[in-house]
Amino acid sequence: MVHLRIVVPSHQSGHALDLLQNTPSVSNLIFLERAALRPEGDVILCDVAREDASVIVSDLRELEIEREGSIAIENIDSMISATAALAEKAAKGLPTDAVVWEEVEQRTSENVELSASFLAFMVLAMAIAAIGILTDQLILIIGAMVVGPEFGPIAALSVAAVQRRPELARRSFAALGIGLAVGIASTLVFTLALEGADMIPSGFSQENHPFTEFISDPDAFSFLVAFVAGMVGVLSLTNAKSGALVGVLISVTTIPAAANIAVGAALGDWTQALGAAGQLALNLVAILLACMGTLLVQRRLYVRRRVSHLRAGAREAAGLPLGRSRRSGPDAGDESGEGRDV
């Protein structure tokens, strides 16, 4: 179940209540008249089956509640209620397969902030990877994969492409590009400093490091692993499976490949640097394609559900048009979560 806290202008609370009262997948509906102070208005609390959360929020947005009020979404970890169980049964599908698109948009928007902490994670992850390459320690490579924050901007870029959100795409691309550039540059300086301090292992070469030589040797399996990992990453993102996301980060060599570009350039091994650049490009393309493909399938399933919901009687009770959305437009089905006119 998903909990909604809705701050609604008093002149719109009747429409919102009619919508929620007539939706079978809504339970534990509470109305607090004039309880909100900033912004002023009424407060509505309710629990919604996860499968219908996005379509209900889309209806509330058609009432333009977010313009003068707000809609907050919270996940419910445990619920003991026969009424809630009936509401879940009323929603088609399984909660584990449901995607709350507003959550996905919020997570991806947070993950593309070009902050000091984001750059720090990128720099530190590549430093760990560089040490792993120089010492041929696979455990350090795995650690660098986990620390690296690069999957967030990649996922956000995929969401932006699927939902046609150019501003999010610009921010995602900037975060990924600048983050990788800063990380590679800092790792180059770090490697030169290690060389100046005579801390590079004597006789270091990629050929003598069998455990990490795969980083600069891309092949078909590299693409396949990155592609599958991208699919799992999106599924973990849309279903909040953080454990699976950690596995995704360990599966791909994005951060180690970027670090290897710097190591190769610092030591004058351009064959290694070019190979690592190829590995980095291959991983980014494979993950991006997989993320976009998975999101497109999930989005198409949601749009079908949304179009079906547009004919629900609860919309008529709330004064919303049947069979079409007030917010319909050429991109409404992708950008705002609304279904197209049918």
Q: Tokens in use for 61?
A: 């947005």
Which range, 75-84, 193-202, 282-291, 329-338, has the best average confidence (pLDDT)?
282-291
Lowest average pLDDT, out of 207-216, 288-297, 325-334, goes to 325-334
User: Domain limits of the chain?
Assistant: 2-98+310-335, 105-300
Residue 79: partners with Cβ closer than 8 Å, 6 or more residues away: 1, 47
Residue 129: closest CA among 287, 286, 276: 276
Residue 14: partners with Cβ closer than 8 Å, 6 or more residues away: none
* pLDDT tens-place string over residues 6-42: 999 999 999 999 999 999 999 999 999 999 999 999 9
Angle (CA) 6-7-8 rounded to 5° is 105
pLDDT band at residue 339 using 50, 70 and 90 as cut-offs: very low
Pair 314, 78: CB distance under 8 Å: no
Cα–chain center distance at 126: 22
Pair 215, 256: CB distance under 8 Å: yes
